[in-house]
Amino acid sequence: MEYRIEKDTMGDVKVPAEKYWGAQTERSRNNFKIGAEASMPLEIVHGFAYLKKAAAHTNHDLGVLSQEKRDLISKVCDEILDNQHNDQFPLVIWQTGSGTQSNMNVNEVVSNRAQILAGKTYDDEKIVHPNDDVNKSQSSNDTFPTGMHIACYKMVIETTIPGIEKLRDTLKEKSKAFEKVVKIGRTHLMDATPLTIGQEFSGYVSQLEHGLKALKNTLDHLSEIALGGTAVGTGINTPDGYSELVAEKIAEFSGLPFRTAENKFEALAAHDAIVESHGALKQIAVSLNKIGNDIRLLASGPRSGIGEIIIPANEPGSSIMPGKVNPTQAEALTMVCAQVIGNDVAITVGGTQGHYELNVFKPVMAANFLQSARLIGDACVSFNDNCAVGIEPNYERIKEHLDNSLMLVTALNTKIGYEKAAKIAKTAHENGTRLKDEAINLGYLTAEEFDQWVKPEDMIGSLKKQ
């Protein structure tokens, strides 16, 4: 491999000749060989590209950067956003907690790529300097939190929310379609009074709607960007009007409603917006875990389990048991939920690491957030398309369970009292007989009275109230 020499304030560094990055990136590559597969997410890099382009335009508008440099920086940032230089960002998550090396990675790539676009060589004087021009009016301490907010906001808007809404809409359709399919309810995993499948699914719909509402309510805080705070929040080395204008430029280039943070000291030293938004993602994960588990239990069997719903058979389920089919989409969904809940612990711990004027767990918080947001969105779409849309009731099994349930005796509470109703249920269970037979044998009511009073379809409440 051929190398070239790059310089920084600490001296010379050998850098692969075909790469655009410079000395600080190479130092980080050598110093943080931790988790080779844990690369800094490209979404963060794209967040940097938006803010570097916005900063260049803002600095030019405010008279502190030439048009030539603005245009070169802007051109390279557009190339990064077009995924033309994905291999130029080799750094891992496990680096400095401020993300300084990733900020400099972007600065160096923009600088050196601009050098080539300007028709120069690496040995020529730099047309665009990584610190003085690409990083002008910035600090790693305000660029990384800005990049992470851009990345996280975009992921939630573009992947997470659409995925959840797709699954919610399917479950809503199923709830409506199955609103009159009466089945036995279960509490404590034991038989309870009847309800409809539609009512049961309406609970899943409500969970997702509340989760979506909570998540969307966090977006206002997440849309605040730190850029303009520079080193400690004071905005040192920025021209007047920079913070507001650069936020407007980011909003313009990204098409999303970003705005300057009301308090830059908070924006650098605390990442409560990330903690808050991921808390909503955790809530959704808890809801999805419940939904996934319910559906796989309701579909269990198909002959020796509950088997009240039929889910699509997508692939063979065993390498040794012919014909076995498993609830793989429910398993994938609930594993995603476990990962998201675990990520929330890391993000919560990361949120506690704000020491004086700077939080120093930025990379791990951003990476975990992006993983959670993407996983939830993708898993909802997968579960929807490969499972939820194909759910159908198993009418024969539903009727079998309903007719055999002892908890239908609850309908007799107001007719003969709790004690007598309990006696009927216990006797039927002990003898393995039907409720109706024991009610008559015990002399508590006639066959006609039982048929009149014990009707599962009358025990589900008013469907109009659902």
DSSP strand pairing (3-8 vs 11-16): antiparallel
Residue 240 labeled ligand binder: no
Cβ contacts of 250 within 8 Å, gap of 6 or more: 50, 51, 54, 146, 150, 225, 227, 258
Residue 223 labeled ligand binder: no
DSSP state of 13: E
Residue 129 labeled ligand binder: yes
Residue 107 labeled ligand binder: no
DSSP strand pairing (358-359 vs 354-355): antiparallel
Give the separation between CA 115 and CA 386, rounded to whole angstroms: 49
Residue 19 labeled ligand binder: no
Structure tokens at 119: 């028709």
Q: Where in the sequence numbering do the catalytic residues fall? A: 188, 318
Residue 132 labeled ligand binder: yes
Residue 140 labeled ligand binder: yes
Residue 324 labeled ligand binder: yes
Task: Please state, in angstroms and as integers, the Cα–Cα distance from residue 261 to each residue in 2, 51, 234, 266, following that order.
Answer: 45, 14, 12, 9
Residue 111 labeled ligand binder: no
Residue 100 labeled ligand binder: yes
Print burial letters for 358-370: b (CB count within 10 Å at least 16), e (below 16).
Answer: bbebbbbbbbbbb
User: Is the separation of the CB atoms in 114 and 14 below 8 Å?
Assistant: no
Residue 137 labeled ligand binder: no
Closest CA to 340 of 314, 367, 302, 369: 369
Q: % helix / strand / coil in the chain, to the nearest 5?
A: 60, 10, 30
Residue 326 labeled ligand binder: yes
| Sequence ranges of the binding site for substrate | 98-100, 129-132, 139-141, 187, 319, 324-326
| Sequence ranges of the binding site | 98-100, 129-132, 139-141, 187, 319, 324-326
